[in-house]
Amino acid sequence: MIRYALKCKAGHAFESWFQSSEAFDRLQAAGRLSCAVCGGAEVEKALMAPNVAASAEAPARPLSEPASLAEALLRALRERLERHGEYVGRDFAREARAIHAGEADARLIYGEASVEEARALLEEGAPVAPLPFPVRRDG
């Protein structure tokens, strides 16, 4: 695993973990990265300092501790979504459309949709938004 400092075209700075540098390159080339703050799709690596072990006088921040307010808010959003939402997988577009049309009970759902499906939902006025983190399929 490798952690990169990232930034979006709007100037938002955030961090994310990747399986490898090659995995980052593949995701970036495929347009599968998004800003953790604004959701923008133009994300690139930011200048980073090397990761140097902390001295005994200054212990390193535990990995489970949020690095910023934005990271803490994203973590809280994810926890709420996974605790109270329903993972509908690839049926997201169909379920969101049914809820928007009043054909299904209103509820918090999350899942996966193609760019085309998401665009169509937005054009129909459905209240959907991309998540700034990957969904856990076992949510």
Q: What is the pLDDT of residue 139?
A: 46
What was the pLDDT predicted at 133?
Answer: 78
What is residue 69's predicted lDDT score, i.e. its pLDDT?
86
Beta bridge partner(s), residue 87: 110
Q: Are 15 and 46 a contacting pair, CB within 8 Å?
A: no
Domain boundaries, the chain: 1-46, 71-123
Residue 16: predicted pLDDT: 87
109, β-bridge pairs: 86
Chunked mean pLDDT (size 10), the chain, 139 residues = 87 87 90 85 81 58 71 88 92 96 94 92 92 71
Nearest residue to 36 (alpha-carbon basis) of 133, 130, 114, 128: 133
* Residue whose C-alpha is closest to residue 112's, from 103, 121, 124, 125: 121
Beta strands in 10-108 (DSSP E): 13-18, 43-45, 86-89
